[in-house]
Amino acid sequence: MLRLSPGYSTASLPATTGQTGIMTEDATNSANETVSAKAKPPDAASRETGPPAAATDSVLLRIEAVVKKFGALRAVDRLSLEIRGGEFFALLGPSGCGKTTLLRMLAGFETPDEGRILLDGTDIAQVLPHQRPINMMFQNYALFPHLDVRDNIAFGLKRARMPRAEIDTRVAEMVALARLEGLEKRKPDQLSGGQKQRVALARSLARRPRVLLLDEPLAALDKKLREGTQLELMELQRRLGMTFIIVTHDQEEAMTMADRIGVMNKGRLEQVATPRKLYEAPGSRWVAEFVGDVNLFEGQAGPGAGGRLAVSTKDAGTIVVTAPHDPATKSPVSVAVRPEKVKLSRGVPASGVVEAHPINRLEGVVTDVGYLGGFTTYKVKLDTGAVVRSSMANTTRLDIDAYRSTERVVAWFTPEDCVVLEQ
Amino acid sequence: MASAATKISRFNIVSLALGLAFLYLPIAVLVIYSFNGSRLVTVWGGWSLRWYAEFFNDRAMIDAAWMSFRVAASSATIATLLGTLAAVALSRGERFKGRTLFSGMLYAPLVMPEVITGLSLLLLFVAINAGRGFWTVTVAHTTLTLCFVAVVVQSRLGSLDRSLEEAAMDLGCDPVGAFVAVTLPRILPAIIAGWMLAFTLSLDDLVIASFTTGPGSETLPIRIYSEVRLGVKPEINAICTLVIGLIAVVIVVASLASKLSSAQTRSAAPL
């Protein structure tokens, strides 16, 4: 049986010094203004931690053709993925897409039926959870109810047979990092949701895992707290230089936090890309529809003027689009346009724009107006009967630019704003 | 609903009094008469502790009580051990074939008539030629009480969050270590409650014990029963009062333990 040293967290300890002082201070300062200066433990500065290994291009975790079956269901279906050291990676997908199963295989709670999981080149697919230098933060936090905050954080350190003095300093460090000062003696049921979340984070970070897995870590928090915690997590990840893999069904959360996102569907990865690429250049129609809102027009692609493509659609006539890098095939394609790329105007758009670009113009009637504060969404029923969605930022306080229901408008967008997707 | 619960009508009081009287009047009479100074059971002869003294001088009765206590303690301990293991296997093990059948079979003795259990055990002991006495009664009582322990512990295990064990494993415990570090402290109240339940069940069992015991190793209920057949002596009242007291203490402790255990997860536990 392959056995990864259970003392991995202690082994690296004496190597470096002088890093934590900075880390702790900054983490405390940046985290929340409500924390007073006394929260900084004065002795925390005399500790050490691994240097923040800046995100490198080296592959830390390699998942090779992994299959996990539950009965007849292939929860994870020949999935391959490479995760780099120091990366903040998000697994995004609808519920039941296999993202949690994949995470549990990385943690060791499930063993893959096929394929390999390589950590630093060593196959850990069959290694038991307690022998992996990987820790997990559970969705419901899974704090030990019979232990107080301190003992919860120290739990993993005691198992690693760390000397008592080192445990004390490490716990103090984690308490400062997670801003839990004064709560050490509390039991989990005496903590608020946000505090529990921070205890769970501190506990999973205490052993300094090579990879931290986070299973829907913010799902139980309310919106305001969630947004604040997202930024804290990013800050923490950057500061520690640790590799984070987060599972979420919340695309905003994934977009905000992750360096790269893997979108999963039916046990497979649909696309792995940066948040911007995922949104602006979705790899498939499914991704375009899953991530954000999108207008889709189906039609036949043909050559257009100036090296562009002209797609003749039933719903919106001929749409001129910028040709994709991969030459589009003759088969029917979908033109995807994000709602915020679709502008509305009362008449013909400003002449300067018209002359500079061959823009796409669709005429119709506003049927639905949704005021959402920062922006307003419109539904425009085209003369062909199709509905186009548009989203416009409310850049002024007065509603001089607002369109009303039943108003006749022109919805327009440029060829650059279109993405051509194969059916 | 709330107003109905706070306001107790005359009818409620009467029905409650009737119900309690029905349950506890015989016991109250027994307890009172155990302090009777008279030689005749039914004639009141003033307060006295005479029959308690009599009991403590009755060698055969003391032996029977000691036998009962030893059987109850050992069978409860064995049953708690086996019952807990069974509960863990059924609720934590990988799904194995026939699991439903196993748990059904585990619970069958709960509703099995005691005469059948006793008779079948007697036949078994005779068949394997086991000398009947302390150990056969202990084994028989283990059979009887094991399923009660399993039910109590399993329902507690079922209400526990599986991810706690996973978190313990994630943080460096092997599976057994995770069970000891995380699960055991949380099911301990249920285990204690199970032991108490097994202890009381064994203490007051007459049927199975009389099938499986041998000469010279009478349990207290058997002894009392054989005495009573020759006529009720006031001493019996004293013994019964002591047994009632002991069982009351055990039941209170068991329900406190169970309450403690359910308070931890805020979920309903048996007992």
Residue A120 has pLDDT above 50, yes or no: yes
Per-residue confidence (pLDDT) for residue B109, from 0 to 100: 79
Alpha carbon distances (Å) from A61 to A64, A123, A263, B17, B90: 10, 10, 17, 72, 36
Mutant choice from B159, B171, B188 vs A, greatest count of A C-beta within 10 A: B171
pLDDT at position B166 over 80: yes
Q: In the prediction, which pLDDT does B6 show?
A: 62
User: In whole angstroms, what is the distance from residue B230 CA to residue A331 CA?
Assistant: 103
Residues of chain A above pLDDT 70, percent = 83
Q: What is the CATH number of the domain that holds B104?
A: 1.10.3720.10
Give the pLDDT of residue A28. Answer: 39
Contact call for A138 and B166, based on CB within 8 A: yes
Nearest-CA distance from B122 to chain A in Å?
45
Instruction: Identify whether the C-beta of residue A162 lies closer than 8 Å to the C-beta of residue A10.
Output: yes
Residues A278-281: contacts with CB under 8 Å, at least 24 apart: A279/A255, A279/A338, A280/A338, A280/A419, A281/A419
pLDDT of residue A48: 37
Interchain contact, A130 vs B182, CB within 8 Å: no
d(CA B246, CA A136) in angstroms, rounded, equals: 49
* Partner-chain contact A159 B161, CB within 8 Å: no
Residue A275 pLDDT: 94
ipTM: 0.74
- Bigger pLDDT: A57 vs B178: B178
Tell me what the mean pLDDT of segment B228-251 comes to. 84
Segment A149-176 shows an average pLDDT of 93
Both tokens of A194, joined, read 């946000």
Q: How far is B95 from chain A (nearest CA, A)?
A: 12
Question: Stretch B239-254: mean pLDDT, rounded?
Answer: 86
Give the model confidence (pLDDT) of A22-58 as tens digits: 333 343 343 343 333 333 333 333 333 434 444 456 8
Q: Residue B88 is part of which domain span?
A: 58-268
pLDDT at position A349 is 58
pLDDT band of B217, cuts 50, 70, 90: confident
Does A109 reach chain B within 8 Å, measured CB to CB?
yes
What is the per-residue pLDDT for A150?
Answer: 94
Structure tokens at A203: 């506990």
CB A422 within 8 Å of CB A356: no
Pairing of strands A295-303, A333-337: antiparallel
pLDDT at B235: 83
Q: Which member of A109, A143, A156 has the closest CB to residue B172?
A: A156
Query: Taking CB atoms and an 8 Å cutoff, what residues of chain A touch B173?
Result: 130, 159
8 Å CB contact of B167 and A129:
no
Q: Which residues does residue A310 pair with via DSSP β-bridges, in sequence order?
A: A302, A320
- Whether A261 shows a pLDDT value over 90: the answer reads yes
Beta bridge partners of A246: A90, A214
Token pair 């589009």 in the structure block, residue: A328
The counts of H helices and E strands in chain B are 13, 0
Please state the φ and ψ torsions of residue A334, each to the nearest 5 degrees.
-115, 135
A397 close to B (CB below 8 A): no
Residue ranges of alpha helices (H) inside B93-204 are 99-111, 114-127, 134-158, 162-170, 175-178, 184-203
Q: How many helices (H) and strands (E) does chain A have?
A: 11, 20
| B contacts of A160 (beta carbons < 8 Å) | 172
Is B172's CB within 8 Å of A130's CB?
Answer: yes
pLDDT value at residue A24: 39
Of the pLDDT bands very low, low, confident and very high (cuts 50, 70, 90), residue A4 is very low
Q: What is the mean pLDDT of residues B9-14?
A: 87
Residue pLDDT, tens place only, A273-296? 999 999 999 989 999 999 999 999
Can you give the pLDDT at residue A329?
A: 60
Other Cβ atoms less than 10 A from the Cβ of A34: the count is 7
Instruction: Kindly determine whether residue B170 and residue A107, on different chains, have CB atoms separated by under 8 Å.
Output: yes
Residue of B nearest to A153 (CA): B171
Burial (CB count <10 Å: 0-12, 13-18, 19+), residue A350: exposed
In this predicted model, what pLDDT tens digit does every residue of A194-228 receive, in sequence order?
Answer: 899 999 999 999 999 999 999 998 888 888 888 88
A108 and chain B in contact, CB less than 8 A: yes
Angle between the B184-203 and B59-92 helix axes, to the nearest 10 degrees? 140
Do the Cβ atoms of B121 and B59 come closer than 8 Å? no
Structural domain contains residue B103: yes
The reply to whether A212 touches chain B by the CB within 8 Å rule is no
CA distance A157 to B42: 70
DSSP code at position B91: H
CA dist B172 and A128 (Å) reads: 10
Give the 3-state DSSP-derived string for A334-345, with helices as H, strands as E and coil as C.
EEEECHHHCEEE
Partners of A309 in beta bridges: A303, A321
Mean pLDDT for chain A overall: 82
> How large is the average pLDDT for residues B29-50?
81
How many C-beta atoms lie closer than 10 Å to residue A222's C-beta? 10
Neighbour count for residue B5 (Cβ, 10 Å): 7
| Nearest residue, CB atoms, A146 vs list B169, B173, B186 | B186
Interface contact A144-B169, CB threshold 8 A: no
Q: Given the DSSP bridges, would you call strands A134-137 and A122-123 parallel, antiparallel or unpaired?
A: unpaired
- Does residue B39 lie within any of the structural domains? no
Q: What percent of chain B has pLDDT over 70?
A: 92
B172 to A204: CB separation less than 8 angstroms, yes or no: no
Residues of A in contact with B186 (CB under 8 A): 145-146
Instruction: Check B170 against A130: CB less than 8 A apart.
Output: yes
pLDDT at A81 over 90: yes
Q: Which amino acid is at A77?
A: D
Residue B15, domain member (yes or no): no
Nearest to B130 by CA among B64, B212, B74, B209: B212
- Per-residue pLDDT tens digits for A86-116: 999 999 999 889 999 999 999 999 999 999 9
3-state helix, strand, coil in chain B (%, to 5): 75, 0, 20
Measured between beta carbons, the chain A residues lying within 8 angstroms of B183 are: none
Beta-carbon separation of A146 and B185 below 8 A: yes
- Report pTM: 0.74
**Strands A418-422 vs A333-337: parallel, antiparallel or unpaired:** antiparallel
DSSP B47: B
CB contacts, 8 Å: A107 with chain B? 166, 170
Mutate to test the interface with A, among B170, B180, B188, B261 (most CBs of A within 10 A): B170
Q: Which pLDDT score is estimated for A50? A: 39
Give the side-chain half-sphere CA count within 13 A for A31.
23
DSSP state letter for B130: P
Tell me the C-alpha to C-alpha distance, in Å, between residue B75 and each of A277, B84, B252: 69, 14, 20
pLDDT over 50 (residue A3): no
Rounded Cα–Cα distance for residues A287 and A265 (Å)? 9
| B163 vs A6, A138, A145: nearest CB | A138
Q: Which of A127, A128, A134, A136 to mutate to test the interface with B (most CBs of B within 10 A)?
A: A136
Where do the domains of chain A lie, and which CATH numbers do they carry? 10-280 (3.40.50.300), 293-422 (2.40.50.100)
B160 neighbors B187 (Cβ within 8 angstroms): yes
pLDDT of residue A43: 39
Give the one of B161, B170, B264 whose C-beta lies nearest to A129's C-beta.
B170
Of residues A142, A159, A207, nearest to B163 (C-beta): A142
Q: Is A5 a residue whose pLDDT tops 60?
A: no
**Which residues in chain A are contacts of B261 at CB distance < 8 A?**
none
Which of A135, A144, A204 comes nearest B164 by C-beta? A144
Q: DSSP string of A162-202?
A: --HHHHHHHHHHHHHHTT-TT-TT--GGGS-HHHHHHHHHH
With bands split at pLDDT 50, 70 and 90, how would you rate the model's confidence at B137? very high
Q: In A85-167, at which residue ranges do the beta strands (DSSP E only) sit?
A: 88-92, 114-119, 122-123, 134-137
Cα–Cα distance between B113 and A167 in angstroms, integer?
A: 57
Nearest CA in chain A to B182: A144
Chain A residues with CB-CB distance to B172 below 8 A: 6, 130, 156, 159-160, 207
The answer to whether A302 and A321 are in contact (CB under 8 A) is no
What is residue A422's predicted lDDT score, i.e. its pLDDT? 82
The verdict on a CB contact (< 8 Å) between B167 and A160 is: no
Reported as a single tens digit per residue, the pLDDT across B51-72 is 888 888 888 888 898 999 999 9
Q: Which positions in chain B have a beta carbon within 8 angstroms of at least one beta carbon in chain A?
A: 161, 163-164, 166-175, 177-178, 181-182, 185-186, 264-265
* Residue of chain B nearest A139, judged by CA positions: B163
Q: Which residue type does A60 have?
A: L
The answer to whether residue B264 scores a pLDDT higher than 90 is no
- pLDDT recorded at residue B5: 53
**Residue ranges with strand state E in A111-160:** 114-119, 122-123, 134-137
CB A79 within 8 A of CB A102: yes
Is residue A340 scored above 80 in pLDDT?
yes
Q: How far is CA A334 from the centre of its chain?
A: 26
Q: What is the biggest distance separating any 2 CA atoms in chain B, rounded to whole angstroms?
A: 71
**Structural domains in chain B (count):** 1
* Residue A154 contacts B where some CB pair is shorter than 8 Å: no
Q: Is B137 helix (H, G, I), strand (E, B) or coil?
A: helix
Which one, of A84, A76, A82, A77, lies nearest residue A104 by Cα?
A76
- The answer as to whether B13 is a domain residue is no
Provide the pLDDT for residue B55.
84
